[in-house]
Amino acid sequence: APKNEEATEKTYKIYATSTGSHTKFYEKSVEIKQNASENTKSTIEKINVLTPILKNAEKLKANIIGENVNPDNLTVSFYRFESGKFVKDTSIRPTFENSGNFVQIVADSIALIKGNEEDVYKILVRDNTDISKSYEAYFRVKYTEDKAVYTQIMPSYVHAAKDGKIIEVGFDEEIEEVFEASLKAGISIDKNADGNYEKLKDKDTIELSDKKFIVTLEKPLEVKGLGTKKAKIKINQGVFRSKGTENLNSDVDYFINIGKPIVRQATIEGNDVITNKNRKVTIKVNGLNLSENAKVKAVMQTKLATEDTAVARKGKQPEVQGTISGTDNEQTITFELPENKTDRTVSYEILYKPEMNGKFEKLPGNNPKSRANATVVSLLADGVDENAATLAFMKIQTYGATSTEAGKIPDITYGVTPTIQESKKTFTHVYGTNLEAKKTRVRIFDERGVEWYIVNQPSLGAAAFKMVVPALIGIDGEGNYQTMEIIGAGNLIGDHTFTYKVAVDSKNYDDNVTVSVTIPASGKTDSGKFDLEKQETTLKLNYVDEDGKQIKESTTKKSYSFFEECAAGIYPDLIEHYQPIKIVRKSDGKEIKLPGGVDYTDYRNLQTLLGVDPIGDNPEYTIVYNKTK
């Protein structure tokens, strides 16, 4: 037998014949085994998960990429992400299989934890011959059939401060983490340009904002020792993605350029809500290596111009150029905004170009942990209270789809969700004044005039709109700018268009500033899907006291029989001198108790109490109150 140069045992089977044939042999054989080579070094490059999103209870397969991989020398462990950290899961028992040229890790039937919409797992592979080495990869388990793919999402630049402590990584598109702190888990840095990559430490931090993220190192790059050599940053595959999609990053390995401009934050001096009496705006920018060649502009948030006008070119929004003074660590920006002659607030988003050959990007605000970390100035209409919550404009992103015919100007208030992914995620930008996440409310209506009530728990609402991230409310940001992540309803027969209406004061919904999204039919069949035309029904709500006496006129509303009770709008009205104590379902008399001391006009407080039973045809519910005075 030839010499075994590999790190794994080889098996040979010997067959014989006495007929002289070269194709036909006796069925019985002799088997010999050849030991693995003791001198062959095993090297592992990475763990490649073949299916980054597993459907519930699907089999996991992950290839170990490397040379002379010997599974006898490897230990494989699984960890599930819980409450912000990975916890070892001993219930998953992997095996090794050979798959072509690879050793493959296989694990059967990894089940989603009950009540969760998505579980995140880490595979950790240790080399028992070198305890200093370990290799990680990540995957998720979901009920949906989303297909994740690895794609090249390369940085457009990687800059570091002169002292090597702060690194900024920029992209040509918006990105997001796959799970909490996934970027930090997947980044390692070659600080000395010696090929030795170190994972980020506990006290190193990551700040992610739209098209870039910033790494702050406790122990900086060895700037002096590098000389003409360059440090590098490595990002493992599958730890970030194109925003709103399941296009996951492939491996990134990129040189770090030291001494380039890095913007840390910007702060509006004085009031960020201004009036026509004083339209001058001053903004302080803090950063590193800030350049005298930087440029800045304020862009009015409104629909794109459909033709050239005095204030905007075709396909653009009105812009105001600003002036910049200062370099190095601080700059001052000043603007003189045009008079607001309209009857509503006008908002301007500040865009900043850090150097001559750079690109205009959103100027970050001073809240790096917020998704709505942008600098926005709002100019009130005459006669409006400076402390009032007002709505100026909204625009929507639907990721990977276009809502515009070729050659036409896009309508940034309308989008179409992609048909290639299960999740119907949308991202809405809200501009105005004195916005508060806890006060902003959203209502969603379809083209038939039926309201779709939002749920905030990922495990609720089989056919519902969801607002989960961040903080189970889906709204982020305060002041002049907010973002809303809304996941649209799936499993519907036919294409349907939905309109989002917002009340920035929790009460008064604005019919004049809205956004809309079309969710196309997905899948090849209508099996298991909901039919809006055939399943429309009427929901009736009664309001009585404990003696059954009517205290408010009954209401009816258009609804759908497949709506779950948590997503059908079965909520108590606010009635003076009364408080709700229970909801009674007419069809079977079931009572749903309502604990005291809870604001039930906030529908989010009702969802888990109501549950997931469909309301059925012509449903009727009675809300029972007791008298407080």
Model confidence pLDDT, tens digit, residues 127-175: 988 888 899 999 999 877 678 999 999 999 999 999 999 999 999 999 9
Dist CA 223 CA 231 (whole Å): 9
CATH for 262-379 (2.60.40.10, 3.90.1150.10, 2.40.240.20, 1.25.40.10): 2.60.40.10
The average pLDDT across 495-508 equals 97
8 Å CB contact between 479 and 508: no
Dist CA 301 CA 413 (whole Å): 11
The average pLDDT across 400-407 equals 62
Dist CA 228 CA 255 (whole Å): 12
What single-letter amino acid sits at 462? Answer: A
Dist CA 244 CA 401 (whole Å): 11
**In 3-state terms, what secondary structure has residue 195?**
coil
Model confidence pLDDT, tens digit, residues 598-626: 888 778 889 989 999 999 999 999 999 99
Dist CA 601 CA 584 (whole Å): 17
* 169-175-181-182 Cα dihedral, nearest 10 degrees: -90
Q: For the chain, report the end-to-end CA distance as a whole number of angstroms.
A: 96
Dist CA 573 CA 552 (whole Å): 9
> Is residue 403 pLDDT above 80, yes or no?
no
Strand ranges (E), 403-478: 414-416, 424-435, 441-446, 451-452, 454-455, 465-466, 475-476
> Is residue 564 pLDDT above 90, yes or no?
yes
* 597-602-603-608 Cα dihedral, nearest 10 degrees: -40
> Is residue 357 pLDDT above 90, yes or no?
no
- Name the CATH superfamily for 43-143: Immunoglobulins (2.60.40.10)
One-character DSSP codes across 62-97: EEEEEES--GGGEEEEEEEEETTEEEE-TT---EEE
Dist CA 422 CA 424 (whole Å): 6
CATH for 151-258 (3.40.50.700, 3.40.30.10, 2.60.40.1220, 2.102.10.10): 2.60.40.1220
Between 523 and 395, the more confident residue is 395
Whole-number percent of the chain with pLDDT over 70:
97
Least trusted range by pLDDT, from 357-371, 492-506, 597-611: 597-611
| pLDDT value for 190 | 95
* 408-413-416-421 Cα dihedral, nearest 10 degrees: 130
8 Å CB contact between 86 and 122: yes
The average pLDDT across 66-73 equals 89
Dist CA 141 CA 412 (whole Å): 33
Strand ranges (E), 473-535: 475-476, 479-488, 496-503, 515-519
> Is residue 39 pLDDT above 60, yes or no?
no
CATH for 536-627 (3.10.20, 3.90.1200, 2.60.40, 3.30.1130): 3.10.20
> Is residue 528 pLDDT above 90, yes or no?
no
The average pLDDT across 270-291 equals 95
What single-letter amino acid sits at 44? Answer: I
Paired tokens of 152: 């090249």
**In 3-state terms, what secondary structure has residue 204?**
coil
43-143 and 151-258 agree in CATH topology: yes
Q: Report the mean per-residue pLDDT for the chain.
A: 92
Model confidence pLDDT, tens digit, residues 404-444: 566 789 999 999 998 767 778 999 999 999 999 999 999 99
Model confidence pLDDT, tens digit, residues 249-267: 999 999 999 999 999 999 9
Q: Is the peptide bond before 470 cis (omega within 30 degrees of 0)?
A: yes
| pLDDT value for 257 | 94
Print the SS3 string covering 535-550: CEEEEEEEEEECCCCE
The average pLDDT across 323-351 equals 97
Dist CA 342 CA 146 (whole Å): 45
Q: What is the CATH number of domain 390-519?
A: 2.60.40
Q: Comparing C-alpha atoms, which of 256, 257, 171, 260 is closest to residue 213? A: 171
- Triad 51, 57, 62: Cα angle to 5°: 30
Dist CA 195 CA 364 (whole Å): 33
Reported residue count of the chain is 629
Task: Please state the pTM of the whole predicted model.
Answer: 0.84
8 Å CB contact between 282 and 255: no
Confidence band for 492, pLDDT divided at 50, 70 and 90? very high
Confidence band for 42, pLDDT divided at 50, 70 and 90? confident
The average pLDDT across 570-595 equals 94
Task: Name the residue ranges covered by the structural domains of the chain.
Answer: 1-40, 43-143, 151-258, 262-379, 390-519, 536-627
Residue 328 falls in which region: left (phi positive, over 0), alpha (psi -120 to 50) or beta: left
8 Å CB contact between 558 and 449: yes
What single-letter amino acid sits at 484? Answer: M
The average pLDDT across 295-301 equals 98
Dist CA 527 CA 184 (whole Å): 42
| pLDDT value for 79 | 97
Q: Which residues pair with 135 in a beta bridge?
A: 125
Q: Comparing C-alpha atoms, which of 322, 425, 369 is closest to residue 213? A: 369
8 Å CB contact between 479 and 438: no
